[in-house]
A and B are shown apart, each in its own frame.
Chain A
C-alpha cells in the first residue's frame, strides 16, 4: 500500500521546489498531497493521518510551530520533518522539543529529500 505524505507550505514556489527534490513516487511508493497552510494541514490530517508531514515554519495563517504543536496533540505519533528557511538554532530546538524528527534547510536538494524519505517513510 502506498504511503501518504503531506507537504505543507504557503508558498506555491516553495512546494514546487521541494517536489522537484523528492524522489520518484513509484520508487518509494507514496502519494503526495499539498496544503497551503497550517489550518488546512490540520483539516487534512484530521480526516486521514499521513505517514509523513513535510512542514514549513513561516506561514501566515498558522505558523509551523503552532501547526506542529496541534498536530502532535491530535496525533502524538505524527511524523513531521520541518523544511524551512529559518535556520536558527533556537527554531530547531523549539521544533525538536515539539516532536519534529528533523529540520531540513531551504533550498533543499534531491539527495537530502531522498535521505529523508529513506529514513522516515
Chain B
C-alpha cells in the first residue's frame, strides 16, 4: 500500500484549503456573513477509531447535528458537516435575513431544512472543487441528517475491509460563521481501500502543480 508522505499530506491540505475556500465563499454569500477559515488537518487513523476521533475533534460535551453525504467515483468516501445542534435557530435567522423569509414550518423542521441547505452548499462546493483539482469526477448520494452525536455510530463503514488494522484518512477543517461565532467542522473520510487511487491522483496533482 502507498503511504501518506509529507508531500501528499501537504498537497491534500492545500487542496482542502482551496476547496473549502470556495465552499466558504458560497456559504458567506448565502448567510451574508464572513466565514473564518482555519488550516485543515490530515491524519491517518485506524478505521476502528473513526467514531472516537470524530468525537474528540468535535468535543465530547457538544450536542451536534451532522449532515452526512457519501460520494463515489475514482475513490469513495464520506463527507460530514458537523454543526452544534443549538445553532439551528441561528442558522434559520441567518438564512432568512433580507429575504422576506416567512416560516411555514415548525421550528424543528425549519432547522433541518436550514442544516440541509447549509450542508448542500458547503459539501457541494467543497467536493466539486476537490474533484476538479484532482482531475476526477464524483457522484453523490442523497444527504442524511444525523441528529445527535451518537448517530455518528451509524456511519457507513468500509465493509470491504474487515482488517482490524485497516486505516482511514480523516481530513478535518473547522470554521466560524458571522459575529455570533457559529462554528462547525467539515470531515472527509476515505477508507484504506481507496488510498492507492487517491494517492495516485495526488501524485499527478503534485507533478502538475509544482
Chain A positions near chain B (C-beta within 8 angstroms): 10-14, 16-17, 20, 57-60, 84-91, 105-107
Contacts and interface: CB of A to CB of B under 8 A. Distances in A.
Interface stretch (B34-42, B75-83, B94-102, B112-120): B34-42
Contacts of B24: 86, 88
Contact of A86 (B10, B13, B21, B209): B21
A12 B34 CA distance: 27
B10 A13 contact: yes
Interface of B is mostly: helix
A17 B209 CA distance: 5
A60 B28 contact: no
Contacts of A85: 17-18, 20-22, 37
Contacts of B14: 11, 13-14, 17, 106
Nearest to B39: A60
Contacts of A17: 14, 209-210
B45 interface: no
Interface centre among A16, A88, A90 (most CB of B within 10 A): A88
Interface centre among A17, A60, A86, A91 (most CB of B within 10 A): A86
A58 B39 contact: yes
Given A16-B209, A88-B28, A89-B28, A10 B21 contact: no
Interface of B: 7, 10-11, 13-14, 17-18, 20-22, 24-25, 28, 34-35, 37-39, 133, 206, 209-210
Contact of A87 (B25, B39, B206): B25
A8 B206 CA distance: 20
B35 to A, nearest CB: 7
A13 B20 contact: no
A84 B21 contact: yes
A89 B35 CA distance: 11
Closest 9 CB pairs of A and B: A85-B21, A13-B10, A16-B210, A90-B34, A13-B14, A85-B18, A88-B28, A87-B25, A17-B209
A17 B133 CA distance: 13
A43 B55 CA distance: 38
A91 B10 CA distance: 24
Given A58-B38, A59-B39, A107-B18, A88 B25 contact: yes
A121 to B, nearest CB: 23
Nearest to B32: A90
Nearest to A58: B37
A106 B18 contact: yes
Contacts of B39: 10-11, 58-60
Contacts of A84: 21
